[in-house]
């Protein structure tokens, strides 16, 4: 089956069985025979006049249309490698575009548990387990890596961060959405001080979300 991956004329057939989840803009499926990949299909919106105007005005939308989020993430991933000459282990690798029966999607490496199930997102993980020393350590390690790789995080939502449990029980966080800079003039990319300031803000916003999530668990 592996050869089929390289045959670009072959349409990968996706069914409900491969469905993983849905965010605000994309629907995510497991690749049916590439066990290390997910396929993210953009949901096409903005068909009204306002959406069309927005597309005309905004460079990224004009250039990449509904793929803009996936491409922005792929670009940020590549920039991190170029800058550090090291593969970041907190952002799943971008693996190109794949044609499916449901349309063309962007492929990324999967974040899964040692038993092959999909890693839960941080929001659900915290709801179930609350805060633990292992999770605190994983969160701090994650943000330290974000800063070291100079990764631009634009949406630190708990649903966009997945919690992977290693074979030895340690935790490892991956951000699957909300990286890359969308601004017309990408000032975070351009100026170190702006990057540090915005990222500090994102980290605080993340900690606020985490605190709220833990508080609502306590009051259950
Ligand atoms: N690389 C991945 N590995 C495993 N699951 C993923 C991966 N990327 C996304 N998912 C799952 O799909 C959900 C939606 O993906 P996301 O990229 O956040 O879509 P959106 O851009 O629409 O918010 C995530 O919350 C997560 O559960
Ligand atoms: Mg999301």
Burial (CB < 10 A; 0-12, 13-18, 19+), residue 73, is buried
Q: Tell me the CA–centroid distance for residue 177 and ligand 1, in Å.
A: 7
pTM: 0.92
Residues 107 and 39: beta-carbon distance below 8 Å:
yes
Residue whose Cα lies nearest atom 23 of ligand 1: it is 23
Of 30, 55, 48, 50, nearest to 40 by C-alpha is 30
32 token code pair? 């049916």
Question: Distance (Å, rounded) from C-alpha 73 to C-alpha 93?
Answer: 9
Q: Architecture of domain 112-220 in CATH?
A: Orthogonal Bundle (1.10)
pLDDT tens digits in sequence order for the chain, 220 residues long: 445 555 566 789 999 999 999 988 899 999 999 999 999 999 876 667 766 666 666 778 888 888 999 999 999 999 999 999 999 999 999 999 999 999 999 999 999 999 999 999 999 999 999 999 999 999 999 999 999 999 999 999 999 999 999 998 899 999 999 999 988 888 999 999 999 999 999 999 999 999 999 999 888 7
Question: Distance (Å, rounded) from C-alpha 42 to C-alpha 66?
Answer: 6
State the pLDDT at residue 77: 97
Helix and strand totals (H; E) in the chain = 7, 7
Residue whose Cα lies nearest atom 2 of ligand 1: it is 110
Residue whose Cα lies nearest atom 15 of ligand 1: it is 23
Residue whose Cα lies nearest atom 17 of ligand 1: it is 177
Determine the CATH number of domain 1-110: 3.30.200
The closest-lying atom of ligand 1 relative to the alpha carbon of residue 25 is 22
Q: Tell me the CA–centroid distance for residue 131 and ligand 1, in Å.
A: 22
Residues at CB less than 6 angstroms from ligand 1: 20-26, 28, 38, 40, 69, 92, 108, 110-111, 118, 121, 159-160, 162, 176-177
Q: Where are the domains of the chain?
A: 1-110, 112-220
């Amino acid at each position: 089956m592996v050869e089929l991956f390289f045959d670009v004329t072959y349409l990968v057939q996706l069914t409900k069985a491969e469905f993983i989840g849905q965010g605000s803009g994309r629907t995510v499926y497991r690749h049916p025979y590439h066990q290390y990949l997910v396929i993210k299909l953009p949901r096409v919106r903005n068909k009204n006049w306002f959406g069309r105007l927005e597309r005309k005005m905004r460079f990224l939308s004009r250039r990449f249309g509904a793929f803009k989020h996936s491409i922005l993430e792929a670009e940020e991933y590549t920039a991190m490698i170029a800058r550090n000459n090291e593969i970041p282990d907190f952002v799943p690798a971008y693996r190109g575009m794949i044609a499916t029966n449901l349309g063309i999607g962007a492929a990324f490496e999967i974040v899964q548990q040692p038993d092959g199930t999909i890693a839960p997102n941080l929001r659900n993980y915290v709801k179930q387990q609350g805060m633990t020393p292992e999770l605190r350590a994983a969160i701090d390690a994650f943000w330290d890596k974000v800063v070291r790789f100079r990764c631009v995080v634009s949406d630190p939502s708990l649903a966009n961060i997945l919690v992977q449990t290693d074979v030895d029980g340690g935790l490892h966080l991956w951000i699957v959405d909300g990286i890359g800079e969308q601004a017309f003039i990408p000032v975070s990319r351009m100026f170190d001080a702006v990057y540090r300031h915005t990222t500090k803000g994102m980290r605080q916003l993340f900690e606020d979300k985490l605190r709220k999530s833990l508080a609502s668990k306590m009051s259950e």
